[in-house]
Structure 1
């Protein structure tokens, strides 16, 4: 039975959304195609109407998450104040505790390093993030805008990874707080 194109597109979007969240929560190898399809309310067989393989799903879900993340930063690039607000909101316990809907770099960076097929998509995302983060510094006529953007992004992602990895809640909060402080400029 053929479904209308709109319904098929909606199912495809749901699969990408669920896969992205599950991959960010448990890693690429930590979730099966069956689990993703169950989360969308679809059967495992339906998967192959949308994707050739799990690798294809990984690549598309990463690209989809990247597009959404970049779109969410569009407002922040308008000024250093808005970028600072974005940075401060990134370095929160709410973001730390919800990696399924959070930053794909902090959730999947180490996973991507072991998945050569998605490294080009991830690289495009990182380059685009650097450009967006550098933009307010360029307009504020600050020197070395790109260097500053790379420093900020690396500090943010690294702090989030560490805050999620430690089993000491006070240390986790301290890591986030100190990163917020050092990046508040």
Structure 2
């Protein structure tokens, strides 16, 4: 294969992964065929197996890509806002917003892929990618938690609470979209996470 052909094949593979990452978050794994995934990248399904051994392999790679977007956002917040409290506040505003609720295709993988990961076999690439992604999300969130005395175990506990609350609130808000309750859920969760705990 010539250099141009290899570069084109690599570009096509990246396009398929990016399209699958978006569709996976929008529709879920069950709602997509190989033809859908290749078509979303502007390719025919005949070339699928030149790039991937199976749809399951592609879903695992796409999940990793989806988590990569969130992790990059968390890293960017840490870099742009060295004050942990400011970084956490910016994350809460972004995560628990109507804009995030209304754009699942570019939204958080923790929320969008949870049901698919839970339904997948324990040894599936999607489930493995999801578990790694959640672990990395918690680790990055702990970096922006303002834990008393820089206590690492308390920062991790706070990160788990934040993640569970944000994912739950976003899931409920998406399920009740186009109703006043949806906005209320987002606002209430943001307020609850923004309120300092009682001493």
TM norm structure 1: 0.93
Q: Could you tell me which residue of structure 2 aligns to residue 14 of structure 1? A: 15
Aligned residue-pair number: 185
Q: What does 1:1-185 align with in structure 2 at a 5 Å threshold?
A: 4-77=5-78, 78=82, 79-116=84-121, 117=124, 118-137=126-145, 141=149, 143=151, 144-166=154-176, 169-185=179-195
Whether the 8 Å CA contact 1:88–1:180 is kept in 2: the answer is yes
Q: Which runs of 5+ in 1 are unaligned?
A: none
Whether the 8 Å CA contact 1:99–1:107 is kept in 2: the answer is yes
SS at match of 1:42: coil
1:157-184: CA deviation from partner (whole Å, max 9, x where unpaired): 0000000112552000000000111111
What is the rounded CA distance, in whole Å, between the counterparts of 1:30 and 1:101 in structure 2? 17
What is the rounded CA distance, in whole Å, between the counterparts of 1:113 and 1:13 in structure 2? 26
SS at match of 2:170: helix
Whether the 8 Å CA contact 1:75–1:82 is kept in 2: the answer is no
Whether the 8 Å CA contact 2:67–2:108 is kept in 1: the answer is no
Whether the 8 Å CA contact 2:88–2:145 is kept in 1: the answer is no
What is the rounded CA distance, in whole Å, between the counterparts of 1:168 and 1:97 in structure 2? 10
CA RMSD of aligned residues (A): 1.8
What is the rounded CA distance, in whole Å, between the counterparts of 1:75 and 1:57 in structure 2? 27
What is the rounded CA distance, in whole Å, between the counterparts of 2:93 and 2:20 in structure 1? 27
1:50 offset after TM fit, Å?
A: 0.5
Whether the 8 Å CA contact 1:15–1:36 is kept in 2: the answer is yes
1:114-156: CA deviation from partner (whole Å, max 9, x where unpaired): 1131222111111111111111236763551111100001100
1:71 offset after TM fit, Å?
A: 1.6
TM norm structure 2: 0.86
What is the rounded CA distance, in whole Å, between the counterparts of 2:62 and 2:27 in structure 1? 14
Whether the 8 Å CA contact 2:147–2:155 is kept in 1: the answer is no
Q: Which runs of 5+ in 2 are unaligned?
A: none
